[in-house]
Chains A and B, each alone.
Chain A
Amino acid sequence: MSRALIDFIRGPMFWIAAAVFVCGLSFQAWRFFRLTRDKPRRFTDAPAQSKKSRAERFLQRLGQLWLGCRRSLLGRQPTLVVVTVVFHCLLFVIPLFLWAHNRRLKDALGVSLGSLPEALTHFLTGVFLLCCAFFLLRRILVRQVRALTAGTDLLTLGITAAPFLTGYLAYLQWFDYKTILLLHMVSGELMLVLVPFTKLGHMLFFFFYRFFFGDEYSFGQGSRTW
């Protein structure tokens, strides 16, 4: 591969990918607000006064919370929920607080975020890859998920896992370091570029759909409608 191409991937391509990421998400946000509008007022108001005393209401809420934990997704599929939460936390924590990334950032911009110890980030990357493996196995082995799985799902999972896998291998210095590092950069940039335009956009739209639209499972009553 030519020196110029490598330099491009290491340098400007990252900024281009970051710009596409930011502008793409901003565009999607703008589009969402353009396509939706404020919800018109309800024609009648529900009766506002609860007949229960404060103590009764407090106990009722406590009971609902306990039932909610057991009957909600957390209660019914605890493994999946825990893996999903860990996966999404690490998806942000690892790239942001990796020493190697912060070093590059400091070189480029003069500022950086704090870094976690390298042994820790390496371990966490391993945990992240295990989460990816869990999702892959779930896609292949669980009948319901298999019925919905398309090629793009596997591709998306692969593109999300690739930067972490190549980063993990680069740290261990397995295979040719420079090649692995190049693949790491390319896969990371690819992922950034794809976020606004694929189902990875749920990064933004999870919050939009579940906070802005009011339905049985929304967080709050929802202030917007299509």
Chain B
Amino acid sequence: MIIAERKPLPEIVDKVKRYRKILNIGCGGCVSICLAGGQKEALELNVELAEAFGLQDVPIQLDTLTIERQCNPNFFEPLDQVAREYECLLTMACGAGVQFVAERYQEIPVFPAVNTVFVGVDRDLGWYEENCRTCGECMLGETGGVCPVTRCSKSLFNGPCGGTRFDGACEVATDIPCAWFEIHRRLKLQGRLEEITKIRPARDWENQTVRHLIQPSCQKRYLK
């Protein structure tokens, strides 16, 4: 799931301080789940902003509205009704949602209130760990479920670099486990060690254009 982190307050204040009517838009999707930008976080941010502006003695109308998703046009109806009454929109959605909002209300300045940091898992409540970089060519089947792109410091594809420490730590930092050490351990456990000797071609990391995906079941709607 997409994990985001609330931007520092001074950064947000700096961006919106010149506006007098601000709408803070929460999102009920990923940012709610990772406790970064849901309704509660939007309300809390507004309290902090009101305090910050109060110190500067400026009369500001600071409202909030949370919609279920900011990445899907089906959920924008409540926002459509009020968005154009504001001078700027502050959104707590991930980067995708921010852009969708900006595209929908192009004449209104839109500011992100969170940084979208990674795709990851919930280790526990409030604790999230990155383990996917959405490279588009998943090879987890060959590496025992350990992602070399995300979990290897050097994103190596064909085995360890030779710097693995004896306890299985990465040579870059001792608190990073060596991904290929773990891959070897997993494949051995599964009796599939021969996978580790397969050579994978270098990936073309340049020229990353905007990716589109249309599921096969929906292709006839859009493709000629």
Contacts and interface: CB of A to CB of B under 8 A. Distances in A.
Q: Do A and B bind each other?
A: yes
Interface of A: 43-44, 46-50, 60-61, 64, 216, 221, 226
Contact of B216 (A46, A49, A60, A226): A60
Nearest to B103: A43
B217 interface: yes
A49 B104 contact: no
Interface in B177-217: 212, 214, 216-217
Given A60-B216, A64-B216, A64-B217, A50 B103 contact: no
A216 B221 CA distance: 10
Contacts of A50: 219, 223-224
A226 B77 CA distance: 9
A48 B224 contact: yes
Given A46-B222, A60-B216, A216-B218, 13 more contacts: A46-B214, A47-B212, A47-B214, A47-B223, A48-B222, A48-B223, A48-B224, A49-B223, A50-B224, A61-B220, A64-B216, A64-B217, A221-B221
A47 B214 CA distance: 9
Nearest to B218: A216
Of all A-B residue pairs in the complex, the 8 with the closest CB atoms, nearest first, are A46-B222, A50-B223, A48-B224, A43-B103, A47-B212, A221-B221, A46-B214, A48-B223
26 contacts: A43-B103, A43-B104, A44-B103, A46-B212, A46-B214, A46-B222, A46-B223, A47-B212, A47-B214, A47-B222, A47-B223, A48-B222, A48-B223, A48-B224, A49-B223, A49-B224, A50-B219, A50-B223, A50-B224, A60-B216, A61-B220, A64-B216, A64-B217, A216-B218, A221-B221, A226-B77
A73 to B, nearest CB: 15
Interface of B: 77, 103-104, 212, 214, 216-224
B80 to A, nearest CB: 10
Contacts of A47: 212, 214, 222-223
B23 to A, nearest CB: 20
A49 B222 CA distance: 9
Nearest to B104: A43
Nearest to A51: B223
A43 B217 CA distance: 22
A220 to B, nearest CB: 8
Contacts of A216: 218
A131 to B, nearest CB: 32
A43 B77 CA distance: 16
Contacts of B103: 43-44
A50 B220 CA distance: 10
B222 to A, nearest CB: 4
Contacts of B224: 48-50
Contacts of A60: 216
Contacts of A48: 222-224
Nearest to B221: A221
A61 B217 CA distance: 10
A216 B220 CA distance: 12
A64 B218 CA distance: 11
Contacts of A226: 77
